[in-house]
Amino acid sequence: MHYESSFKYECGTKYDKYLIECKDILYSSKTKYQDVSIFDTHNWGKVLLLDGLIQSAQFDEHRYHEALVHPAMIAHHNPKNVLIIGGGEGATAREVLKHPSVEHCTMVDIDGQLVEQCEKHLPEWHQGAFEDPRLELVIGDGMQFVLECNDIFDVIIIDVCDSFEDDSPTKGFFTANFVTKVKRILEIKGIVVYQAMSTAACENEKFIEVFKGVDQAFTYTTPYATYIPSFWSEWGFVAASDVFNISTISPVRIDNTLNLRKLPDKLSFFDEVTLLNMISLPKDVRNYLNESMAPLITDYIDCDKVLVATS
């Protein structure tokens, strides 16, 4: 990590570098797994960097975490048992626990030192989620947890760092083989969602690879994206299920579910209009996903009828 006076550099890609003025360095150390830095800035508020790359910024982390969590949680009729792989800041758990139906949420993160520092320095992220009795925090290898787990989950959220490098400990999470292992512990009507990296035209190869890996294992795979200002990019997500096609759930049903769960006042970003925007990927991105992506379905389905039919 490179410091110059009160400035901090971050590589956006191999070829681009962004300069951020830093007010204060709150924490900087190397854990067993990664370089961790938390610093305060003028425009973004607090920022978390892992191995020199921005993972989360106070100004817009709600956009990322609400986009990651709520499409799957709203699509499921009654999510009670949820698994999060990664999510060290606690914000993914924060969003999951906003749903009153949730009885148990298991969060598995390999880096206990990271979680400890996030709990200490980033209370704006977790907002007390680590103290919620419904949350079970497991410090351990997420891949090993999935392989050994015998529990069944309604929603599984894969929120691990975005690296496909050969020596990266997270590369295996994005393979089709691992997706099948995830499906083994997913309830038959369950939903899995991945953070799937940038959809930008110049660097969307990882997004396409995640989509393909997930799409091989599930009947319905929905790619979607939203702009995250601190990432300087449209950021992709992939949700999949054998029962629910998130792209065909009606805005009316989403609105009704949000109101039934008393969520509108608790969300700053996500609602039925936001979801319509996120699943409406531009033509070039849809082309990049190639012919394996199913045609866009415009007729809305009645998920309650699906549930009856599959019961």
Residue whose structure tokens are 């292992």: 181
Residue 303 confidence (pLDDT)? 44
Please check whether residue 257 lies inside any domain of the structure.
yes
Residues 130, 119 contacting (CB under 8 angstroms): yes
- Quick one: 11 and 83 in the same domain? no
Q: Is residue 138 part of a domain?
A: yes
Is 235 a domain residue? Answer: yes
Question: Do 142 and 181 lie in a common domain?
Answer: yes
CB neighbour burial string for 114-151, b if at least 16 within 10 angstroms, e if fewer: bbebbbebbeebbbebbebeebebbeeebbebbeebee
Residue 67 sits in the same domain as residue 41: no
Same domain, 79 and 117: yes
Same domain, 29 and 156: no
On whether both 91 and 226 belong to a single domain, the answer is yes
Per-residue confidence at 46, pLDDT binned at 50, 70, 90?
A: very high
Range of the domain at 215: 61-306
Q: Are residues 24 and 71 in the same domain?
A: no
Decide if pLDDT at 5 tops 50. no
Residue 79's nearest CA partner among 63, 95, 67 is 95
Residue 258, domain member (yes or no):
yes
Q: Is residue 158 part of a domain?
A: yes
Say yes or no: 42 and 144 in one domain.
Answer: no
pLDDT at site 1: 46
In single-letter form, the type of residue at position 185 comes to I
Q: How far apart are CA 55 and CA 88, in angstroms?
A: 10
Per-residue pLDDT tens over the stretch 169-184: 667 888 888 899 999 9
**What is the arithmetic mean of pLDDT over 11-15?**
62
Q: Based on the fold, state whether residues 256 and 162 are members of the same structural domain.
A: yes
Angle CA 164–167–170, to nearest 5: 50
| Average model confidence (pLDDT) across the chain | 87
Contacts of 54 (CB under 8 A, 6+ apart): 10, 47, 48, 230, 231
Asked whether residue 311 is assigned to any structural domain, the reply reads no
Residue 297: the pLDDT is 39
Report the C-alpha gap between 194 and 235 in whole angstroms. Answer: 11
Residue 90 lies in a domain: yes
Domains in the chain, number: 2
CATH number at residue 131: 3.40.50.150
CATH of the domain at 17: 2.30.140.10
Residue 7: CB atoms within 10 Å = 11
- On whether both 25 and 132 belong to a single domain, the answer is no
pLDDT beyond 80 at 18: no
User: What local confidence, expressed as pLDDT, does residue 223 receive?
Assistant: 96
Give this prediction's pTM. Answer: 0.89
The percentage of the chain sitting over the pLDDT mark of 70, rounded to a whole number, equals 85
Residues 53 and 66 in one domain: no
Phi, psi dihedral angles at 245 (to 5 degrees) = -105, 105
- On whether both 87 and 197 belong to a single domain, the answer is yes
Q: Within a domain: residue 133?
A: yes
pLDDT digits (tens, 9 = 90+) for 54-101: 899 999 999 999 999 999 999 999 999 999 999 999 999 999 999 999
Residues designated as active site:
159
